[in-house]
Amino acid sequence: MAETDPGQDRIAEDDRLKSLDERVKRAEAIEQVRTGTGQTGGMDENYRLGNRVLAELLGGLAGGALVGWVLDRFIGTSPWLLLVFLFLGIIVAFRNIIRISTKRPPQ
């Protein structure tokens, strides 16, 4: 059997490697926090998806109501175009929400 050099202690060498691994892991964790890559992707994705759904709903309602109100002012058909475009905005918003929610996630 070949023995190791008498100047090297195998146990001390393992302790140094463990210490080095711990320091590298701590440095990687600090770097991930600093760059923002350490966050979990699922929670961030769900948060963005929720904000997008909310924006679609509010945008559809507000856009339809605004267009209807402006057309009512110019044409003089007060509340009818407002109601029609409000419902059209709701329909478009829900169509977009359904389209967003049925999209398959990347694998």
pLDDT, residue 39, reads 58
pLDDT, residue 58, reads 95
Model pLDDT for residues 32-79, shown as the tens digit of each residue: 888 877 555 556 888 888 999 999 999 999 999 999 999 999 998 889
pLDDT, residue 12, reads 58
Among 61, 62, 63, 83, CA closest to 72: 83
If one compares 13 and 60, the residue with the highest pLDDT of the two is: 60
pLDDT, residue 2, reads 53
Cα→Cα distances 41→37, 59, 72, Å: 9, 26, 46
pLDDT, residue 64, reads 94
pLDDT, residue 54, reads 94
Crossing angle of helices 41-75 and 80-101, in 10° steps, is 160
Residues 93 and 57: beta-carbon distance below 8 Å: yes
Work out the mean pLDDT of the chain and round it to a whole number: 84
The sign of the dihedral angle between the CA atoms of 42, 44, 45, 47 is positive
Q: To 10 degrees, the CA torsion angle through 44, 49, 58, 84?
A: 180
Q: What is the mean pLDDT of residues 8-33?
A: 81
